[in-house]
């Protein structure tokens, strides 16, 4: 799910070349997906829109999130293949911090639809944009720690149990319900298989990601491991502390009062030079309450992937920290 905020097209998540496989079958119980105009639009991604589907009946049913190929891309097979691939992967996943599979079926207009658990009406990116628009600063440290723990748990499940690299971690792909009542990872359409060494198994596989969140090894065609997700995870924490897009923080400060984007004012060379590096963070403004999250951010955004912690190690430390009575004390120590 992506925010509607205007940023250059180059930052949009590109489409992953899909493998040709037989499509996943729809669920046994017939599912009727309404036409798009009869559902509330929740967000959009590359080639797809996401809608809220309220289900009616004699019993109370929880709503679903419906990912549907948008009209402009409906005739492009690559998007349907990508959606089918995502459905196959999602159907095999079951974790409280990952949006659940519900059905893969065909809408009345003939388009393929992926029905998912409704993880929340807003993405974390939506929450960041809202907070920014209200003139607020960083999220409270306790909220960032909660998001950090829940997302790390989801990544630990993907990496350790399912041997999958999410491949596009960022605030847009985390959905929030209520006042951070639930926190779930979504959009696993560009995931990659990992081997026992946590490396991508297919030599022909291509890491997609989204440019500002991509680690150096992805930008330079290096070896891709689970630590690629950890780098992007670290930048997601940075988003919550700065309310900015990684490596576009200078642009953000210049356009706070102007929704337009002037390409002539964008220093493309400086932007590309910053990609894959750790963006600056004003720790003095944040204060001591954010110490643990600042340290975690720094550890996760080490340029050398081997120096980044695993998702399992992050969960271990954050769960220990969550048990501390004094949230402002203690520090993350990951060797």
CATH code at 214? 1.10.510.10
Lowest mean pLDDT among 84-88, 104-108, 177-181, 227-231: 104-108
> Which range has the top average pLDDT, 26-30, 59-63, 69-73, 170-174?
170-174
Predicted model pTM: 0.80
> Is the domain of 158 the same as that of 299?
yes
Domain boundary among 85, 117, 149: 117
pLDDT digits (tens, 9 = 90+) for 203-240: 888 898 999 999 999 999 899 999 999 999 999 999 99
- CATH label of the domain that carries residue 45: 3.30.200.20
> Is the domain of 170 the same as that of 47?
no
> Which range has the top average pLDDT, 12-21, 181-190, 227-236, 242-251?
227-236
> What angle in degrees, to the nearest 10, is found between the helix axes of 291-300 and 227-242?
140
**What is the per-residue pLDDT for 24?**
44
> Is the domain of 319 the same as that of 203?
yes
Answer whether residue 32 is part of any domain. no
**What is the per-residue pLDDT for 111?**
75
Answer whether residue 3 is part of any domain. no
Q: How many Å apart are CA 232 and CA 215, to the nearest integer?
A: 7
SS3 content of the chain, % helix, strand, coil (to 5): 40, 15, 45
* b/e map 164-189, b = 16+ CB within 10 Å: bbbbbbbbbbbbbeeebeebbbbbbb
> Is the domain of 206 the same as that of 105?
no
Q: How many Å apart are CA 81 and CA 4, to the nearest integer?
A: 25
Task: Give me the domain span that covers residue 159.
Answer: 122-251+269-327
Give the max Cα distance, the chain: 59
Q: Both tokens of residue 317? A: 């430390």
Which residues are known catalytic residues? Answer: 168
Residue 282, classed as helix, strand or coil, is coil
Q: How many Å apart are CA 7 and CA 127, to the nearest integer?
A: 17
Mean pLDDT taken over the chain: 81
Domain boundary among 63, 97, 117: 117
Q: Which residues contact 78 (CB under 8 A, 6 or more apart)?
A: 15, 17, 18, 47
Identify which of 203, 206, 230, 213 has the alpha carbon closest to the alpha carbon of residue 279: 213
Lowest mean pLDDT among 119-123, 141-145, 330-334: 330-334
**What is the per-residue pLDDT for 108?**
74
pLDDT digits (tens, 9 = 90+) for 142-160: 999 999 999 999 999 999 9
> Is the domain of 80 the same as that of 200?
no
**What is the per-residue pLDDT for 71?**
62
> Is the domain of 241 the same as that of 96?
no
Domain boundary among 91, 117, 143: 117
> Is the domain of 156 the same as that of 295?
yes
Half-sphere exposure in the Cβ direction for 236 (13 Å, CA): 31
> Is the domain of 308 the same as that of 187?
yes
Residue 241 contacts residue 293 (beta carbons within 8 Å): yes
Give the CA angle between residues 117, 159, 297 to the nearest 5°: 95
Q: Work out the number of other CB atoms within 10 angstroms of the CB of residue 29.
A: 6
Q: Both tokens of residue 98? A: 């990952």
Residue 195 has pLDDT above 60, yes or no: yes
Q: What is the CA radius of gyration of the chain?
A: 20
Q: Work out the number of other CB atoms within 10 angstroms of the CB of residue 73.
A: 17
**What is the per-residue pLDDT for 327?**
46
> Is the domain of 216 the same as that of 98?
no
Total structural domains within the chain: 2
Answer whether residue 217 is part of any domain. yes
**What is the per-residue pLDDT for 215?**
97
Answer whether residue 14 is part of any domain. no
What average pLDDT score do residues 186-190 get? 89
Q: Sort 304 into a burial class: Cβ within 10 Å, 0-12 / 13-18 / 19+.
A: exposed
Residue 187 contacts residue 45 (beta carbons within 8 Å): yes
Ramachandran angles phi, psi of 236, nearest 5°? -65, -40
């Amino acid at each position: 799910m992506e925010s509607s905020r205007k940023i250059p097209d180059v930052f949009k998540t590109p489409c992953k070349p899909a493998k040709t496989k037989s499509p996943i079958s729809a669920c046994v119980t017939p599912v009727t997906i309404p036409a798009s105009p009869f559902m509330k639009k929740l967000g959009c991604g590359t080639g797809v829109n996401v809608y809220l589907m309220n289900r009616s009946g004699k019993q109370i049913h929880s709503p679903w999130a419906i990912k549907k190929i948008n009209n402009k891309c409906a005739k492009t097979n690559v998007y349907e293949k990508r959606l089918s691939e995502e459905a196959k992967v999602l159907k095999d996943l079951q974790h409280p911090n990952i949006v659940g599979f519900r059905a893969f079926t065909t809408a009345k207009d003939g388009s393929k639809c992926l029905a998912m658990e409704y993880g929340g009406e807003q993405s974390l990116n939506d929450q960041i944009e809202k907070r920014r628009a209200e003139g607020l600063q960083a999220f409270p440290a306790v909220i960032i720690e909660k998001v950090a723990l829940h997302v790390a748990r989801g990544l630990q499940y993907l990496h350790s149990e399912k041997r999958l690299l999410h491949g596009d971690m960022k605030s847009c792909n985390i959905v929030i319900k209520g006042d951070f009542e639930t926190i779930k990872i979504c959009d696993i359409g560009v995931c990659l298989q990992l081997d026992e060494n946590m490396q991508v198994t297919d030599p022909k596989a291509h890491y997609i990601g989204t440019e500002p969140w991509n680690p150096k090894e992805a930008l330079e065609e290096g070896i891709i491991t689970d630590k690629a997700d950890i780098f992007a995870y670290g930048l997601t924490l940075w988003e919550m502390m700065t309310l900015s897009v990684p490596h576009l923080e200078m642009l953000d400060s210049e356009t706070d009062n102007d929704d337009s984007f002037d390409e002539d004012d964008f220093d493309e060379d400086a932007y590309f030079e910053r990609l894959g590096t750790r963006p600056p963070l004003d720790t003095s403004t944040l204060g001591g309450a954010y110490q643990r999250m600042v340290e975690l951010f720094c550890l996760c955004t080490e340029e050398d992937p081997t120096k980044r912690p695993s998702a399992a190690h992050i969960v271990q430390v954050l769960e220990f920290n969550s048990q501390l009575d004094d949230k402002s004390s203690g520090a993350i120590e990951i060797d």
